[in-house]
Amino acid sequence: MSITNPILPGFHPDPSILRVGDDYYIANSTFCWHPAVRIHHSRDLKNWKLRGYAVTRDSQLDLRGNEDHGGIWAPCLSHHDGLFYLIYTDVKNWTSPAYKDAHNYLITAPTIDGPWSDPIYLNSSGFDPSLFHDDDGRTWLVNMLWDHRMNAHPFGGILLQEYDRTRQKLVGPVNNIFHGTDIKMVEGPHLYKKDGYYYLLTAEGGTTWWHAASLARSKSIDGPYDIMPKNPLITSATDDTLALQRAGHGSFVETQDGQWYFAHLCGRPVMPMRKCILGRETALQALDWPKGEWPTLAHGTNTPALETRASGLPEVTFERDAKHPYFNDDFESDKLDLEYNSLRVPIDDSWASLAARPGFLRIWGRESLNSRHRQSLIARRIVHFDTSAACAVDFQPETFQHMAGLIFYYDTTNHHYLYITCNNDGQRVLGIITADGGQHIEYPNAVVALPDTGTVYLKGVMHGATLQFYYATSPQKWIAIGRPLDATILADEHKAEVKFTGAYAGICVQNLSGQSIHGDFDWFNMEKAKDAGTK
């Protein structure tokens, strides 16, 4: 039996893996999406289920105004003396040529399900913080150093400082313990102790095609650290034909019987465009780690494998697991499903209600799709290259400034939107808007007149690099609207040196007039497209 990668498909970067007893958890970066710090649970390392989120309240995180792809970077999950620790960065600004405004926080909880505390501020010297609990009772913080100076390398090394758990603050000197290898761009540090050595695992090479995970070790926590002779531990940079590209940033976990595994990020590009539409995903590799020696990937190379050795733990499956999270939501529940996310602000009754019209999700329109503050958009990760998303919406626009519909979304500058609005004559119409690298594109030939009232059904079917929209005014009588669209604009690699998230499909409403307007969604469906082959 083996484990098939990725174990967490779709937008699941920067995995921090942790075992507590017989339970395994992975925390992932969520950037500008709420709720934040997504946590999955497993008992066998093969089957994973979304458990919940650690950061759910305004008091823990305020993302209003954060840049696209800012927000929460590289959380680290740890456990010590019966308490869970979750450390994360809130990156306010990252596209400046020089500066990064990156603030590091710590929250704690008695159980993985919370309640999670309000944050303790730690520092702002760089991103990717993690905690290491030593066997002598002391706890240490490591994070990368951002150096904004003109003549310096911006990735300035890995900082180490002690964290006093009783006083809940950093204490003592700050030491730069590791400047990285020749790969450069050292970040994502995690410390481990084994066989008398401190092992420092870092990410290097940037999170694109040259990404890697490097390893160094020392007899002393503050160094000096010797680089592994056959470094890097993992990379895809040596083989552009690998199914798993961009392999790097990750963390280690030891099983109950002494086996070691490495959870790491990766990307699966759509060829020949070589674009990772689903974003950075989480994969798992078995390690061989003899006593006193360096670890290696169990399959014998330093490139990522699609299949890795199973743990031998009893298999525990879930009714809806990480690889099959889609389902038809008729909004009959009094709570939204865990898979739903919103941008920058929590979902609450002030703009999204399951009670206002029972059996519907009512969404009140707010700011535009370019807003970094108050969008009314609720969406789910796309985890299959062949995905269908559809909804039924009752929406009565009063002006062209009112819009509601179905969206395939990457960020404020890249998305495809099938929306209902009205023209200058008050006629309800359907249209398509694309944002491509920030350029706003409309399709006059795709505008369709709709009945004055009644439910409208909207659907998008994505097959790899293409997306086709459909509509209906009667259930299941789908009519194609517009031409096939370029789905690769939803990829990290589209028109930018680097971006960090992944594709979503969802529902949204915009009110650009200041009047009160809402859309009532009867259902939202997301599934692997039935007429598509597997990828």
CB-CB contact of 193 with 133 (8 Å): no
CB-CB contact of 156 with 198 (8 Å): no
Residue 456 located in a structural domain:
yes
Give the ranges where 405-530 is alpha helix by DSSP (H).
none
Same domain, 83 and 219: yes
Residue 365 located in a structural domain:
yes
Residue 162 located in a structural domain:
yes
How far are the Cα atoms of 17, 31, 398 from residue 28, in angstroms, in the given order? 9, 9, 41
Q: Which residue's structure tokens are 């976990």?
A: 253
Quote the pLDDT of residue 496. 80
Residue 244 located in a structural domain:
no
Residue 76 located in a structural domain:
yes
Q: For residues 512 and 367, what is the distance between their CA atoms, to the nearest angstrom?
A: 6
Quote the pLDDT of residue 531. 54
Same domain, 232 and 335: no
Domain ends where: 239, 258, 289? 239
Q: Annotated catalytic, 14? A: yes
Domain ends where: 208, 239, 270? 239
Same domain, 194 and 338: no
Quote the pLDDT of residue 421. 98
Q: What is the C-alpha R_g of the chain?
A: 23
Instruction: Please tell me the number of Cα atoms within 13 Å of 403 on its side-chain side.
Output: 21
Kindly give the pairing relationship between strand 352-353 and strand 234-235.
unpaired
Quote the pLDDT of residue 534. 32
State which residues of the chain have pLDDT below 70: 531-535
Domain ends where: 239, 262, 293? 239
| Neighbour tally for 230: CB within 10 Å | 10
Residue 323 located in a structural domain:
no
Quote the pLDDT of residue 533. 36
Tokens describing residue 179: 């400047």
Domain hosting residue 422, numbered range: 328-528
Same domain, 201 and 336: no
Same domain, 172 and 70: yes
Same domain, 343 and 233: no
Quote the pLDDT of residue 97. 86
Question: Is 103 buried (19+), middle (13-18) or exposed (0-12) by CB count in 10 A?
Answer: middle
Quote the pLDDT of residue 535. 29
Same domain, 387 and 504: yes
Residue 30 located in a structural domain:
yes
Residue 281 located in a structural domain:
no
CATH of the domain at 180: 2.115.10.20
Quote the pLDDT of residue 532. 39
CATH of the domain at 392: 2.60.120.200
Q: For residues 367 and 426, what is the distance between their CA atoms, to the nearest angstrom?
A: 21
What is the tens place of the pLDDT at every residue in 44-96? 999 999 999 999 999 999 999 999 999 999 999 999 999 999 999 999 999 98
Quote the pLDDT of residue 229. 97
What values do phi and psi take at 390, rounded to 5? -150, 160
When divided into structural domains, the chain yields a total of 2
Same domain, 50 and 198: yes
Dmax over Cα atoms in the chain, in whole Å?
Answer: 77
Per the residue annotation, which of 67, 90, 187, 281 is the catalytic one? 187
